Structure 1
């Protein structure tokens, strides 16, 4: 790893290790509910644990909801709103349609919290806590979650389509979309490591198998033996929703095999593999994480805190929804 990049990585992590709790919209802190709803973290953890015990994939699904919420209008639970009145749900976007899941688990958490302390814990904070708890249950790091977000009273379908990186994104698109959220190259690579758990549909990577650049040829940066395995269940047409692990070695364990796979040309999505093949800076970070699981774990936790602080609604802005799927009646 180059000396300049190494210094950049260390400085980035040190700065966010100091606090990382100033968002663009206000101040968040882990003790926010200590007096108003002290059992809140315990309730979230309990429901998430039951959900993941029922289905291991749910850990990745809940983690993904937090990402897809924060990248649109900030971490404000806009993703959770169903269409009604003037609201067009973000669940209809290309990034979420037929793939975002886990909403029923969030509903279950919210119901339990409303019984314990009505109109106190925001849906946005539920998403942040559920993402952390899901990561821990999969064997990943624990971090203190800064709290105090409030819930949006609107959604942005266009923002969801525009801001969330697609699975076939180029490296420049990825860097740009993360930079627009205040996230740097280290954050991009570390947060991409969430693909160490979870699954993806055939339709998300089919072009790599058959027609990567529009010339009817496969992606030559994909290991051809691995590609042949993928083709058995991801044909040229049909099978769109067939599921494949993003990390085929340890698909339900939060570790650095995702990065080892990329180094071996076995990243499933184009947006995974380009981290190693299209940018020297991201390639060096991928190599670093592939060799050092503890460093990846540490950086991931720091970057999750940083991401969770994207433009939160605080103070009197927004509201605390009673039902995460709809705004409170005015």
Structure 2
């Protein structure tokens, strides 16, 4: 519509809530899905909770590697608690609406925990690099004070970018459909509902994802290139195997988390479907945290020994 001054006026409907479609296309499996996700959530809480308790109580696990693992496990519990309770509500009550503010809060905390996880995984890679490539100075460099600073730095570094990303996204005008074909509020599906020219907002969102995810991933990659080069120089095959075994669990977690996350965020929309997007988001937000305790225990003799001492009590 044009006013007398020939100024074009565009009317946008004010979005006060979104509809998270989630698994609405599977109406006959809501109860089954609820049971599966509840089992996954309980596994995450119990598994990561056990790691926290064991690495805190067992005297043989008072090393930087297990200090970082304890904080990583706590972070996993926070990370999944942002999304799974909302999924439970949708599956149990069939009420899929989420307010504009609640969606913004969920996205912000999801990005903060996710960014912290990226930085903490980079810190854990650095710890393995120091232990293998600089073993003589490792106890001196990776002391308690430095470890605490690295963990606190991981948390603090992950806060500003998600706040800016969330502000950028929720400053956009939303018009037309308010249905998010996703299981929680995430960047790609929210951007798909925005109106007008969102080029700048997309740039800031993906720049934020680059800084929060790709930069830590590159740091991990550099650390492991140097670790592998050092391991190959070890004269003993047993020594090479032992050195690599201390890194294998971390490598598996990094591959699962970063692989699914990077594909989800940076795969072109022309290739990516809603179903693929949901599956990838569930891998890095739910499946990976569920498998982390198993990966770090079944592949770690020290943790298994500590478990055997702890569980009978």
Same-fold status (TM-score > 0.5)? no
Structure with the largest fraction of helix: 2
**Which of structures 1 and 2 has the bigger CA Rg?**
2
